[in-house]
Chains A and B, each alone.
Chain A
Amino acid sequence: MKRRQVLKNIGLGAGYVAVAPAVFNLLQSCKSEPKNEWQPVFLNVANGFALTQVLDVILPKSDTPGASELNIAQFIDSYMDEVAGDKQKEEFKSGANAFALSFKENFDKELSDGEAEDFEKAVAKYLGADKETRDAYVKRISETQDPEAPKAGFDAHAGSYAYLGVVRDLGIWAWKNSEAVGENVLWYDPIPGAYIGCLPESEAGGGKVMSL
């Protein structure tokens, strides 16, 4: 029975492994539907809602587009469904569950009841942590890496840190490769016509990175 399944090791990104009980899918499925206008295809509804929220903290709207208006959460959800390998899928799902658990612990509420400011605080707590704390998360995660005999048990905080790191990496990739950003925010130069090897930045993109 899934509910009684032993703790499972999961890896998130290069060398990042977190552990999360598999019961969270079941826990989440018992709750009321969150106020979320899209139906994820890979994540459950609550984790999909949380993904949208944290992406808007990581890549907020300003004078350049934010994650929501580029549908980056939907993109990542479909990516996990159609592109990711089995291991990556499992890790991502477990990471999302770790985040749900730490959210509950931090704010004493379910994801679906979370307000924007809660997600802001959650991202600040993990991605905004100082170097010492981040290093401790990484150490904690790597201690669980041995699938046969993890030296450490499940830690929702370290797992949340790892999960948000993966969300950030995928989010950056999707953001930079979106049309609105690629054509209007970054240096879009589809037909350069020449290669000039060494130019002052002022004459080469004006401080913007090439989008293609």
Chain B
Amino acid sequence: MSSIKPEEMYDAIVVGTGISGGWAAKELCENGLKTLVLERGRMVKHIEDYPTMNMDPWDFKFKGQPTKEEEAKQFKQARTGYTTNKAHSHFFVNDLEHPYNETKRFDWMRGYHVGGRSIMWGRQSYRLSDIDFEANKKESIAVDWPVRYKDISPWYDKVEEYIGVSGENLGLPQLPDGNFGPPMELNCVEEHLKKNMAQNYKDRLLTIGRTAHITYTDKTFEGRSACQYRNRCMRGCPFGAYFSSNSSTLPAAERTGNMTLRPFSIVSEVIYDDTTKLATGVKVIDAETKEEMVFNSKIVFLCASAIASASILMQSKSDRFPEGLGNDSGELGHNIMDHHFNVGASAKFDGFEDKYYKGRRANGLYIPRFRNVGGDSDQPNFKRGYGYQGGASRGDWTEAISEMKYGEDLKKAISEPGGWTIGINAFGECLPYHENKMTLDYDKVDKWGLPTITFDAEWKENEWEMRKDMKQQAADMLTNAGFKDVQTYDNPGAPGLGIHEMGTARMGRDPKTSVLNGNNQLHAVPNVYVTDGSFMTSASCVNPSLTYMAFTARAANHAAEQFKNGKFA
């Protein structure tokens, strides 16, 4: 390898620019560390590189539907049913260029560009609670989280304050309150369900989703403004109304003058020095030229996503770590979790025909977890719990057409709002199973000569048992509230489809059974931090991104402190 140029020496390297990488970059740079931020994909500049952000359906050739030829290039990404829409298909990978293998089906949805999935994320933002952090220990499942709510709570505060989360405080032990902007409104039919649930149930309630959109009228966010209710978030927001790395953390890092951002940089390995027992930097392949290079630093943050960060560690083999960097426990790449969902109920509502709503709210109702949270809520057939996300709306014309048939009557019918419908979809916790894993296939390499990933993960009995309750409770709540034509559904899909893959380098107290310590450091190589979904010791049932941000901010400040104290010299 050629000698290291001085400009290739950094205090810290951050691998990945998604929701975690952006936070690592911001916090490290704001602590004064010269930071190189590496992104395997192309540059995406806020606003400038959101080509579809203002397009209407008629501005797309087929109203946004991909052609068969286009969809063939994203045949795995297409499994969600929405990712390949032309409104945002450019933010999801080409499956032909980025293949992976499936011993069992795994839906790996991702985008390779600056900002990563922080551009297309669902923006639902919930805190984990001590019910989550203590569950593994209480139930003797996997290993104990080395962290409790009090440790992470101030970092949730910091993150919510910075990104802007709208929502309602409820005082629930299973869903801690936060630092929220004004909640978005429920519509008439959602309010009806909320009132009925309050009458029908003592153990559960309905609220508006907590979402990372600015709803404040009295607080400013640099370069961002309040939500305009266009519901085109996945395309990138010209108002910067929802949080993304592109709109928020990367510009903040940039403003410090300490960040160097390098797109098209595929990290293949973290380099380990057995004399210092520390990492010295990373190996990079330029995605465009395939040139190999080395960048050196005192600290490495892996924020490449749960699967990619684990893959980089597994590829980082040395005499000391023949099974991958920091993999003394043998847990690296194991314990893959996601949320299982697409089970619930939908229904119609007779009434409120003279009521409508204004705006397209990129948010929905939320029914927080009510199972296995203590007292009467404990279930005999499954552990952990689930929450519901959903919403009510008008606007479906399918009912009208069988009677309006054709002609002028039909045109009139389809121009008016249709009847009210509602849907509630459960998101359930998946337990960590050692045998749910990813491995590397060195016989099938990608176009950069790197091994491809093979998935071998599945839902198990606890998930299947939970789904029965998820379906039943959904139907009961709607039926009890007077909804009509209640239909249940259960489409389990496969792990990955929730796009919350996590757990591949779990945190723990014991280096023999976990990869990371409670500060997100590799037990055996303390200047390597992994702060994307990899670190999750259990999944909780809530959307995880807020937790990734809070742990990343905490880890970055820990790293900066260690750095300043000369621990990684």
Q: Which residues of A contact B (CB under 8 A)?
A: 57-60, 62, 64, 78-79, 82-85, 123, 127-128, 134, 168-169, 172-179, 182-183, 185-186, 189-201, 203-205, 207-210, 212
User: What's the least CB distance linking B67 to chain A, in Å?
Assistant: 4
Cβ of B63 and Cβ of A209 under 8 Å apart?
A: no
Known: A190-B54, A204-B358. 8 other contacts (CB 8 A): A58-B406, A78-B62, A82-B67, A128-B406, A183-B56, A198-B188, A209-B394, A210-B395
A201 to B486, CA, bound (A): 26
Can you offer 16 A-B residue contacts whose CB atoms are under 8 A?
A57-B406, A64-B411, A64-B415, A82-B62, A127-B405, A175-B414, A176-B414, A177-B58, A192-B360, A194-B359, A198-B355, A199-B355, A203-B358, A208-B415, A208-B416, A212-B57
- B418 — nearest CB in chain A belongs to which residue? A209
A190 to B406, CA, bound (A): 29
Q: Does B190 contact A (CB under 8 A)?
A: yes
Cβ of B358 and Cβ of A200 under 8 Å apart?
A: no
Cβ of A185 and Cβ of B415 under 8 Å apart?
A: yes
Given that A168-B406, A175-B414, A201-B417 are contacting pairs, would A195 and B359 also be in contact in the complex, using a CB cutoff of 8 Å? yes
Task: Identify A58's interface contact among B186, B402, B407, CB under 8 A.
Answer: B407
A190 to B436, CA, bound (A): 45
- A173 — nearest CB in chain B belongs to which residue? B63
Q: Does B401 contact A (CB under 8 A)?
A: yes
- A192 — nearest CB in chain B belongs to which residue? B359
Cβ of A62 and Cβ of B408 under 8 Å apart?
A: yes
- B230 — nearest CB in chain A belongs to which residue? A191
Residues of B with C-beta under 8 A to A182: 56-58
A203 to B356, CA, bound (A): 9
Residues of A with C-beta under 8 A to B479: none
A208 to B229, CA, bound (A): 18
Task: Identify A192's interface contact among B57, B62, B358, B418, CB under 8 A.
Answer: B358
A58 to B185, CA, bound (A): 38
Q: Which residues of B contact A (CB under 8 A)?
A: 54, 56-58, 62-63, 65-69, 184-188, 190-191, 228-230, 352, 354-361, 394-395, 397, 401-402, 405-408, 410-411, 414-418
Task: Identify A172's interface contact among B58, B401, B416, CB under 8 A.
Answer: B401
A89 to B154, CA, bound (A): 57
Given that A83-B62, A178-B58 are contacting pairs, would A209 and B416 also be in contact in the complex, using a CB cutoff of 8 Å? yes
Residues of A with C-beta under 8 A to B407: 57-58, 60
Task: Identify A212's interface contact among B56, B67, B418, CB under 8 A.
Answer: B56
Cβ of A83 and Cβ of B67 under 8 Å apart?
A: yes
Cβ of B359 and Cβ of A82 under 8 Å apart?
A: no
User: What's the least CB distance linking A74 to chain B, in Å?
Assistant: 12
Cβ of B229 and Cβ of A123 under 8 Å apart?
A: no
A70 to B524, CA, bound (A): 66
Cβ of B416 and Cβ of A195 under 8 Å apart?
A: no
Given that A58-B407, A84-B68, A182-B58 are contacting pairs, would A195 and B355 also be in contact in the complex, using a CB cutoff of 8 Å? no
Given that A195-B229, A195-B361, A198-B191 are contacting pairs, would A186 and B415 also be in contact in the complex, using a CB cutoff of 8 Å? yes
Residues of B with C-beta under 8 A to A207: 416-417
Residues of B with C-beta under 8 A to A185: 415
- A208 — nearest CB in chain B belongs to which residue? B415
A120 to B62, CA, bound (A): 28
User: What's the least CB distance linking A66 to chain B, in Å?
Assistant: 9
User: What's the least CB distance linking A145 to chain B, in Å?
Assistant: 20
Residues of B with C-beta under 8 A to A59: 406, 410-411
Cβ of A193 and Cβ of B229 under 8 Å apart?
A: yes
Cβ of A204 and Cβ of B357 under 8 Å apart?
A: yes
Residues of B with C-beta under 8 A to A173: 63
Task: Identify B354's interface contact among A62, A179, A201, A212, CB under 8 A.
Answer: A201
Residues of B with C-beta under 8 A to A178: 58
A179 to B55, CA, bound (A): 11
User: What's the least CB distance linking A204 to chain B, in Å?
Assistant: 4
A207 to B401, CA, bound (A): 18
Residues of B with C-beta under 8 A to A209: 394-395, 397, 414-418
Cβ of B416 and Cβ of A179 under 8 Å apart?
A: no
User: What's the least CB distance linking B38 to chain A, in Å?
Assistant: 36
Residues of A with C-beta under 8 A to B69: 82
User: What's the least CB distance linking B213 to chain A, in Å?
Assistant: 10
B360, B407, B408 interface centre (most CB from chain A within 10 Å): B407
Residues of A with C-beta under 8 A to B406: 57-59, 123, 127-128, 168
Cβ of A197 and Cβ of B230 under 8 Å apart?
A: no
Residues of B with C-beta under 8 A to A205: 356, 358, 417
Cβ of A193 and Cβ of B228 under 8 Å apart?
A: yes
Cβ of A192 and Cβ of B230 under 8 Å apart?
A: yes
Task: Identify A200's interface contact among B54, B355, B359, CB under 8 A.
Answer: B355
A196 to B184, CA, bound (A): 9
Residues of B with C-beta under 8 A to A179: 56, 58
Residues of A with C-beta under 8 A to B414: 172, 175-176, 209
Residues of B with C-beta under 8 A to A194: 229, 358-359
Residues of A with C-beta under 8 A to B184: 195
Cβ of B354 and Cβ of A200 under 8 Å apart?
A: yes
Given that A62-B411, A209-B416 are contacting pairs, would A197 and B62 also be in contact in the complex, using a CB cutoff of 8 Å? no
A62 to B412, CA, bound (A): 11
A197 to B185, CA, bound (A): 6
Residues of B with C-beta under 8 A to A190: 54, 56, 230
User: What's the least CB distance linking B235 to chain A, in Å?
Assistant: 13
A178 to B359, CA, bound (A): 20
User: What's the least CB distance linking B82 to chain A, in Å?
Assistant: 15
- A134 — nearest CB in chain B belongs to which residue? B402
A29 to B417, CA, bound (A): 44
Cβ of A197 and Cβ of B68 under 8 Å apart?
A: no
Task: Identify B397's interface contact among A134, A172, A191, A199, CB under 8 A.
Answer: A172
A185 to B354, CA, bound (A): 20
User: What's the least CB distance linking A136 to chain B, in Å?
Assistant: 15
Task: Identify A189's interface contact among B57, B354, B358, B418, CB under 8 A.
Answer: B358
Task: Identify A197's interface contact among B188, B405, B417, CB under 8 A.
Answer: B188
Cβ of A201 and Cβ of B355 under 8 Å apart?
A: yes
A127 to B56, CA, bound (A): 31
What 8 A-B pairs are tightest by C-beta distance, nearest first? A197-B185, A195-B359, A192-B359, A204-B356, A197-B187, A198-B188, A177-B57, A179-B58
User: What's the least CB distance linking B89 to chain A, in Å?
Assistant: 13
User: What's the least CB distance linking A165 to chain B, in Å?
Assistant: 9
Task: Identify A196's interface contact among B54, B67, B190, B358, CB under 8 A.
Answer: B358
Residues of B with C-beta under 8 A to A64: 411, 415
Cβ of B355 and Cβ of A196 under 8 Å apart?
A: no
